Amino acid sequence: MTDVIKPIALIDRSVISYLPHSTRRLPFEVPRHYHVPMPRSPEPSPKQSPKEPYVPIVKVSPRGATRLKAGHVWVYRSDIVSADGVPPGSLVRVTDHRGKPLGTALYSSSSQIAIRMISPEPVADFPALLRQRIADAINYREAHVRDAEAYRLVFSEADFLPGLIVDRYNDILSLQILTQAMDADPVRQAILGELTTRLHPASIIERVDPRVRELETLPPRASGLLQGEKTSTTFTMNSIHFRFDALEGQKTGAFLDQRENYAAAAQYTHGEALDVFCYQGGFALHLAPHCEHVTGVDSSRPALEVADQNAALNRSLLGSNEVGANEIEWIEANAFDLLKDYSSPARPQEARRYDTIVLDPPAFAKSKRDLDAALRGYKELNLRALKMLRPGGILVTCSCSYHVSQSDFLEMLASATLDAHRTLRLIEVRGQAKDHPVLLNVPETAYLKCVIASVS
């Protein structure tokens, strides 16, 4: 599952090799710059010709400059030295406290992430840069995504497009806009134009996160169609069929970041399986062809209704011997309560036992302040699951909390294993699917952990 996100490293010069040579020179004599149309300053910068569009300058502290030089792309508001009069959502030139140029960024007047770098060089034509970056993101997926009609097309900073998420579900595109700069009309037009030209979707739908728009001080906006009329479709993922309603569900729809983990888990699962936090049946449907019986648990009745529709869709297409209603049972319940009842019933002889258990909870740590509580929650889930697994059983356990590192997660799992008096052998330690790229210098782009282990 995905929460959140997601930043990029300073763009490598090779990434912007398509920019005109004139935009790659040192900005002592600044070339023409595009910026989201905003009121111009009454007086141009001394380093800019009066004939050129006004491009605001933001100065950052030595700490902020060091962060950018190390390859990160965010500068927090506490490291902004001066941004007087800079309009919300502007394309800005970034300098250190001495005035040395550091590149071009998108500015937010309200977010704690004040600037998000988009290039180490001046940007002469922002819409053109957007179009090229979208084209590059599509080319990346064409090279690396296999056996899927649904995947992430644009992953914000990880595709050098901070504040933009685009997911593809067969012939429908679902997008989210998360920053002031990406919400500007010329930017929206460039995004929609390039997506339409390259992909010819039946529809493009925007999913709005009201909380994000409030944090960015953007006007309220409803989720809905931006283009076309189609709002639902079906798609395949690892040869399993799913329904998709573009205006329902979480985020932009399904949890596409688990796509490769679904297939990996299916290789090892067997016997009786329990899928906890099953949502619309992603893991459960992948396990069903390999297991005698699968039980999916979620607290959301609408999600379980879609999961049941997905099971029926696969029964009609694949045959009842592979994925059928008799093999998957859906239970609406609180996961913590259910696992407590199953693992430690009043009468020990009534304890439930499974050969495979999947734990795929939502993010427990939305900030660093939540880390300790999150680790306690993960440990409780895993401890109870470990007690319920038969010898030789398979545990698939996940975390989509960025603030819980892989080492934190493995340490928690080791502690739960000791408390459960079990032995755990790691089969695979995995992350998010390739359509959710990870930038080495931007740790926030790596958030998903998926451990597959054998229990004895």
Q: Which residues are catalytic?
A: 400
> Does residue 105 contact residue 117 with C-beta atoms inside 8 Å?
yes
Q: Rounded to an integer, what is the distance from CA 70 to the centroid of its chain?
A: 23
Q: Which residue has the tokens 């990434």?
A: 15
In angstroms, the Cα distances linking 227 to 29, 154, 231 are 41, 18, 10
Q: What is the largest CA-CA distance in the chain?
A: 83
Return the closest-CA partner of residue 116 out of 226, 247, 216.
216
- Tokens linked to 11: 């763009």
| Helix, strand or coil, per DSSP, at residue 261 | helix
d(Cα 56, Cα 37) in Å, to the nearest integer? 12
SS3 content of the chain, % helix, strand, coil (to 5): 35, 25, 40
d(Cα 174, Cα 82) in Å, to the nearest integer? 37
d(Cα 101, Cα 122) in Å, to the nearest integer? 9
Query: Which contacts qualify for 234-238: CB closer than 8 Å, 24 or more apart?
Result: 234/170, 234/313, 235/148, 235/149, 235/150, 235/169, 235/170, 236/147, 236/148, 236/149, 236/150, 237/147, 237/148, 237/149, 237/150, 237/262, 238/147, 238/148, 238/262, 238/263, 238/266, 238/286
> Does residue 394 contact residue 269 with C-beta atoms inside 8 Å?
yes
The upper half-sphere exposure of residue 393, i.e. CA atoms within 13 Å in the direction of its Cβ, equals 21
In 301-446, where does DSSP find H-type helix?
301-318, 335-343, 371-388, 406-419
Helices (H) and strands (E) in the chain, counts: 10, 20
